[in-house]
């Protein structure tokens, strides 16, 4: 629902589209509780240039070219250029190998980081960033403007594998693995952070039969998504024994739209930035006073999602994406 004042929550979607990003973006555009004030782009599912192109394309599909797109970083926060992109999950074009025509629009003449800082300053405490890719742009904003952590309302991020295996390797989830140094900066920044990890998103599955239900809708978004979902389904059939696909990004988006759909715990999160467990996220629940000072001591608390009302999430996703 809209806030008490009746104003929808302003959100900026930091995104690497991406099939489940496309779902999350459409979901946000169909959600009266939020107003999408911009998209910022990042590498992850695809390289940043393609993420920008896909973000512009998705807004054209949605007839929402009024929403600005700001291009984000092409490299990690440590200037790393050896990026891991998940084209095997989303297709070479990031959108199910559909080879859509290039968008007509262009990104604004401002970096993602500058846009994030500008909007947080413009609407102090009022903007939520929904971060669906590696956290480079957000960490850069934190470094660039010391007041960003105070001015930004909340950072809802899809990332981490809390006490479960990762999806890149047993230790790491893809978004955190993409830039672990940036993730550690975000988690320890003191900002109001809600992390939705794959321990939660793996509970939200869009099944083959849900896909058939989606197909029965003449809605613009449902018909578009059906085309691009094929590759995502194929990947999941190969990689997991699940009969369906995980709704990572839509679940994180709904956690921002309607926080009552999840529960969370609070504690300090640190990210392993090197070695075989690079990208591992580890939550200290602050229940024990350790004898020694640890890397978690005196770190601010963040929120980490632990349960999700999966049927309610799925129902909302289906309903909103099937509307005509």
Ligand X SMILES: O=c1[nH]cnc2c1ncn2[C@@H]1O[C@H](CO)[C@@H](O)[C@H]1O
Q: Per CB under 6 A, does 18 bind ligand X?
A: yes
Q: Per CB under 6 A, does 254 bind ligand X?
A: no
Contacts of 260 (CB under 8 A, 6+ apart): none
Q: Which long-range contacts (CB under 8 A, 24 or more apart) does 51-55 make?
A: 51/15, 51/16, 51/17, 51/18, 51/94, 51/133, 52/107, 53/102, 53/103, 54/17, 54/18, 54/21, 54/22, 54/93, 54/94, 54/95, 55/15, 55/17, 55/25
| Closest to ligand X by CB, 20 or 184 | 20
Q: Shortest Cβ distance from residue 171 to ligand X (Å)?
A: 13
Residue of 16, 114, 179, 192 marked active site = 16
Q: Shortest Cβ distance from residue 172 to ligand X (Å)?
A: 9
| Closest to ligand X by CB, 45 or 299 | 45
Buried b / exposed e along 154-175 (16+ C-beta atoms within 10 A): bbbbbbbbbeeebbbeebbbbb
Q: Per CB under 6 A, does 198 bind ligand X?
A: yes
Query: Residues, the chain, total?
Result: 324
State the Cα torsion 100-11-165-303 to the nearest 10°.
Answer: 180
* Cα gap 105→93, rounded to integer Å: 18
Q: Shortest Cβ distance from residue 45 to ligand X (Å)?
A: 6
> What is the phi/psi pair of residue 147, to 5°?
-90, 0
Q: Shortest Cβ distance from residue 38 to ligand X (Å)?
A: 19
Is 16 labeled as catalytic in the residue annotation? Answer: yes
Q: Per CB under 6 A, does 174 bind ligand X?
A: yes
Q: Give the interface segment with ligand X, choosing from 134-142, 145-153, 169-177, 251-259 (CB under 6 A).
A: 169-177
| Closest to ligand X by CB, 96 or 117 | 96
Report 221-240 residues binding ligand X (CB under 6 A): 239
Residue with tokens 């809708």: 217
* Member of 14, 71, 114, 173 binding ligand X (CB under 6 A): 173
Contact string (CB under 6 A) for ligand X, positions 64-103, x = contact: ----------------------x--x--------------
Q: Per CB under 6 A, does 249 bind ligand X?
A: yes
Q: Shortest Cβ distance from residue 19 to ligand X (Å)?
A: 7
* Cα gap 30→322, rounded to integer Å: 10
Helices (H), 161-306: 174-178, 180-187, 198-201, 208-215, 220-239, 248-257
| Closest to ligand X by CB, 131 or 191 | 131
Is 90 labeled as catalytic in the residue annotation? Answer: no
Q: Per CB under 6 A, does 168 bind ligand X?
A: yes
Residues annotated as part of the active site: 16, 248
| Interface positions with ligand X (CB under 6 A) | 18, 20, 45, 86, 89, 167-168, 173-175, 198, 239, 248-249
């Amino acid at each position: 629902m809209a806030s008490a004042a009746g104003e929808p929550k302003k959100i900026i979607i930091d995104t690497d589209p991406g099939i489940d990003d496309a779902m999350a973006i459409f979901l946000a555009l169909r959600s009266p509780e939020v107003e999408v004030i911009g998209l910022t782009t990042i590498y992850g599912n695809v390289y940043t240039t393609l993420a920008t192109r896909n973000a512009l394309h998705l807004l054209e599909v949605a007839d929402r070219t009024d929403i600005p797109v700001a291009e984000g970083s092409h490299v990690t926060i440590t200037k790393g250029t050896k990026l891991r992109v998940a084209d095997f999950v989303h297709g070479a074009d990031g959108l199910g190998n559909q080879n859509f025509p290039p968008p007509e629009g262009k990104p604004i003449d401002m970096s993602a980081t500058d846009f994030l800082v500008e909007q947080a300053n413009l609407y102090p405490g009022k903007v939520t960033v929904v971060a669906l890719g590696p956290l480079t742009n957000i960490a850069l904003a934190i470094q660039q403007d010391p007041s960003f952590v105070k001015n930004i309302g909340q950072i809802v991020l899809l990332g981490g594998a809390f006490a479960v295996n990762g999806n890149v390797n047993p230790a790491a989830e893809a978004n955190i693995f993409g830039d672990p140094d940036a993730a550690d900066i975000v988690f320890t920044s003191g900002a109001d952070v809600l992390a939705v990890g794959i321990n939660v998103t793996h509970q939200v599955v869009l099944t083959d039969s849900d896909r058939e239900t989606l197909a029965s809708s003449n809605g613009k978004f449902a018909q578009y998504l059906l085309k691009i979902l094929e590759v995502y389904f194929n990947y999941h059939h190969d990689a997991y024994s699940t009969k369906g696909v995980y709704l990572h990004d839509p679940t994180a988006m709904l956690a921002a739209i309607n926080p009552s759909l999840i529960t969370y715990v609070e504690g300090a999160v640190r990210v392993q930035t090197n070695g075989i467990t690079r990208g591992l996220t580890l939550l200290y629940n602050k229940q024990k006073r350790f004898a020694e000072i640890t890397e978690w001591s005196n770190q601010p608390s963040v929120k980490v999602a632990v349960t999700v009302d999966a049927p309610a999430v799925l129902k909302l996703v289906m309903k909103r994406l099937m509307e005509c």
